[in-house]
Amino acid sequence: MDISDGPHAQFLATEHWSLLATRSMTWNEIFSRTGTYLTVLSATVVALSLVANATGFGRDFRTFALLVLPLVLLVGIGTYFRLVEADIEDAWLVIGMNRLRHAYVELAPEIEPYLVASHHDDEPGLLQTYSFRGRVGVTHWLSGSPVIVGIIDVAVVGVLTGLICRSAGADTVVQNVVSGMMAVLTLALLGAVAYRRVRRASQDYWARFPSASN
């Protein structure tokens, strides 16, 4: 396609701004959903502390906790799944903007040294635009919103399982063992779901402008 004329450049710029606006809305949703979940969790903790002060961690406290913690967990699981989807959508938006930058470089090759973000749509180009590096470390991934929300969900599952075991009359050792097992299982399930979603989204993808092309 010949993109050397003015109208093509205007079309590309319009598309770029559209993707940028969509990415901004995606990030706003990520922050909003994460903040909403943390607010619900904080309110629940405050409510549990007030009930505990009034009932002395007795049967009424366990009943109340068994009513509200599943609701918190439901909100947390839903938030986690949506954050995973939002991260995938954000990756596609970055790929789209990288392709548009590639078109800009075709229009004006002399601008390439001034670009900080990548103009390639393969994995190295995606990482370059995300973090301005060719690779990111474990700390970068661990600080992501889905991971933080997922870890909180795992903790809620552990606490909820402990309360269920306590209400069933299990001793402390059984409570700790079952709670730990359920937390590990939840962590594995959440990680597996996220991995499958990312893999499914990327398995049919092929880069049009890979870094090796230059």
pLDDT, tens only, 76-101: 999 999 999 999 999 999 999 999 99
Q: Cα dist. 207→61, 123, 159 in Å? A: 56, 9, 45
Lowest mean pLDDT among 20-24, 176-180, 202-206: 202-206
The domains of the chain are located at: 6-203
Q: Is the dihedral of CA 105, 111, 113, 115 positive or negative?
A: negative
Q: Is the pTM of this model over 0.75?
A: yes
Q: What is the pLDDT of residue 3?
A: 53
Please compute the mean of the pLDDT values over residues 185-193 and round it to a whole number.
Answer: 97
Please compute the mean of the pLDDT values over residues 130-147 and round it to a whole number.
Answer: 80
Where residue 22 falls among pLDDT bands split at 50, 70, 90? very high
- Of residues 35 and 143, the one with the higher pLDDT is 35
Q: What is the enclosing helix (H) or strand (E) of 134? A: none
CA of residue 120 relative to chain centroid, distance: 23
Please compute the mean of the pLDDT values over residues 33-40 and round it to a whole number.
Answer: 96
Q: What is the pLDDT of residue 2?
A: 52
Please compute the mean of the pLDDT values over residues 22-45 and round it to a whole number.
Answer: 96
Give the integer Cα–Cα distance in Å for 149 and 91. 19
